[in-house]
Chain A
Amino acid sequence: MSGMQVLSVADLTRCIRAVIEAEDLFWDVWVRGEISNLTKHSSGHVYFCLKDEAALIRCVMWHSDARSMRFDLSDGMNVVVRGRVTVYEKQGQYQLALSSILPDGVGTLYTAYEQLKRRLQDEGLFDESRKKPIPRFLRKIAIVTSPTAAALRDMVTIARRRMPSVHVLVVPALMQGSGSEDSVAESLRLADSIPGIDVILLGRGGGSIEDLWAFNTEAVVRAIVACNTPVVSAIGHETDYTLSDFAADLRAPTPSAAIELIVPDRQELAVRLAGLTDAIIAASSAAFARKCAELDMPANSPSLRYPEKMLHGRWQSLDLAEERLEKNFRAILSSHEKSLAEVSGKLESLSPLGVLARGYGIVRRLKDGFTIKHISDIAPADLMETLISGGKLISEVKEVKEGWD
């Protein structure tokens, strides 16, 4: 023993630690194994043993790294860990201090995606019952996207083609890479805080699963769910499904498709409006004709024969309305011949011949074909020609009375 140096346990352990930690090989290692004895300490640090058939090594992941884990660990899980070999002097143990843990076998991102999806689903965030309807006639859309992306140009071009009057507000966000999830979440909150926005469109063109990752994060899902304004998610291509798609009130396969889905087509609306206008004119005319019949007016009463006279003032405003509507429709549709044919059918029914089919007549002086527009155009004994649906009748005026009575 003499001459031999006696070390303290601490000294020796320090020496061992120095040797181990000086080894380049141990500075940054990747190790595959199975998790056992997993302990998640209340401090946020995570401890477990990584083992295979032949050996075992203790692992620790400090709170600061464990916080950014994108999936949950469990005993028996096969993982690939990355870390540095260190020595824990107090316990005389060498261990791996981990910087990251990846699930082994199935892809990391896929596992993280499935786990987060299940958790948020269980929380009810994807429930159909909490989805808001998308307004059908949009005046103002907020598009959360990258201001430099080609997708933005496509979206605006299509929106303007369908409904030129639509007001588009671009809310810029970082759509991929580090910091994108917070940027997207923040832009969603911002868009939602602006008054008068009908719909928020979250749009991004195609990319790798890593590029689209922000849209699979809890931060973005929660930001979507928190919006009071309806949110449409259009991320990547048709085949890409992200968690933002499940959380949004509407999922569109691509940004362009989203615009097609939510921005109404002005021509279609013009056709619908023309149909409704026509229906109102037809229905009020018919209702009026029924009323006349109910009142059992004398057969030769001018009111029955020329019921529109009773509506004189009203019809004048109708003429103005028709003229204006027709002008607008023509202006809207002038550059689109296809639907012009459709609409001209509707407008046709507003023409005098269409009116005949609804129970009215056109009265003309027989001798010169002058169309009677006012009672003063008629004199007793005049021969009249009345055009009604299906033919005409010739009659002689017996009496002319001013007024309705």
Chain B
Amino acid sequence: MGKKSELTFEQAMARLEEIVRQLDAGGHTLEQTLLLFEEGIKLARQCSGQLAEARGRLDMLSKGKNGSVTAEPHEL
């Protein structure tokens, strides 16, 4: 299951769509249905968590004399 949490938002949404298709198609055992259901809810939670994330950073890249590159927080 650890692997699932590494899905990107877009992959997770695609997987959710796939789960809906599979459930609609039927032909699964009860246990399979439950597993799909659980996976779906888990992914939905993951996605909603991502949407609810706090404000992202704004950084400005600058180059040092020795060629090193650093990103510093930037204010508009």
Report B-chain residues with C-beta under 8 Å of the C-beta of A272: 13
Determine if B20 and A276 form an interchain contact, defined as CB atoms under 8 angstroms apart.
yes
Determine if A280 and B53 form an interchain contact, defined as CB atoms under 8 angstroms apart.
no
- Given A273-B48, A324-B48, also A170-B33 (CB < 8 A): no
Which one of A1-9, A16-24, A246-254, A314-322 is at the interface?
A314-322
> Which secondary structure dominates where chain B touches chain A?
helix
Q: A200 to nearest B CB, angstroms?
A: 12
Binary interface profile of A, 149-179, with partner B (CB < 8 Å = 1, else 0)? Answer: 0001100110010011111111110000000
- B37: nearest chain-A partner, CB-CB: A284
Determine if B55 and A136 form an interchain contact, defined as CB atoms under 8 angstroms apart.
no
From the candidates B8, B9, B44, B57, name the one contacting A167 in the complex (CB within 8 A): B57
From the candidates B8, B30, B40, B60, name the one contacting A280 in the complex (CB within 8 A): B40
Determine if A170 and B38 form an interchain contact, defined as CB atoms under 8 angstroms apart.
no
Q: A157 to nearest B CB, angstroms?
A: 8
Report B-chain residues with C-beta under 8 Å of the C-beta of A152: 76
Report B-chain residues with C-beta under 8 Å of the C-beta of A153: 76
Determine if B48 and A165 form an interchain contact, defined as CB atoms under 8 angstroms apart.
no
Determine if B10 and A321 form an interchain contact, defined as CB atoms under 8 angstroms apart.
no
Determine if B48 and A329 form an interchain contact, defined as CB atoms under 8 angstroms apart.
yes
CB within 8 Å of A: which B1-50 residues: 8-10, 13, 16-17, 19-20, 23-24, 26, 28-30, 33-34, 36-38, 40-42, 44-45, 47-50
- Given A190-B69, A328-B49, also A169-B61 (CB < 8 A): yes
Report B-chain residues with C-beta under 8 Å of the C-beta of A170: 58-61, 74
From the candidates B8, B24, B51, B74, name the one contacting A266 in the complex (CB within 8 A): B51
Asked if A94 is an interface residue, CB under 8 A from chain B, the answer is: no
User: How many residues on B have C-beta within 8 angstroms of the other chain's C-beta atoms?
Assistant: 45
CA distance A281 to B57 in the complex (A): 35
- Given A136-B10, A156-B76, A269-B51, also A314-B59 (CB < 8 A): no
CA distance A288 to B71 in the complex (A): 53
Asked if B64 is an interface residue, CB under 8 A from chain A, the answer is: no
Report A-chain residues with C-beta under 8 Å of the C-beta of B28: 287
Q: Tell which of B23, B29, B49, B71 has the most Cβ of chain A within 10 Å.
A: B23
Q: Could you list which residues of chain A lie within 8 angstroms of chain B, going by C-beta atoms?
A: 135-137, 139-140, 142, 147, 152-153, 156-157, 160, 163-172, 190-191, 194, 266, 269-270, 272-273, 276-277, 279-281, 283-284, 286-288, 290-291, 311, 314, 317-318, 321, 324-325, 328-329, 331-332
Question: Can you name 24 A-B pairs with beta carbons within 8 Å?
Answer: A135-B10, A137-B9, A137-B10, A137-B50, A139-B56, A156-B76, A160-B56, A163-B56, A164-B55, A164-B56, A170-B60, A170-B61, A172-B62, A190-B69, A266-B51, A276-B16, A281-B37, A283-B23, A284-B23, A291-B29, A291-B30, A317-B41, A328-B48, A328-B52
Q: Which 8 A-B pairs have the closest CB atoms?
A: A283-B23, A165-B53, A137-B9, A280-B40, A284-B37, A167-B56, A321-B41, A277-B44
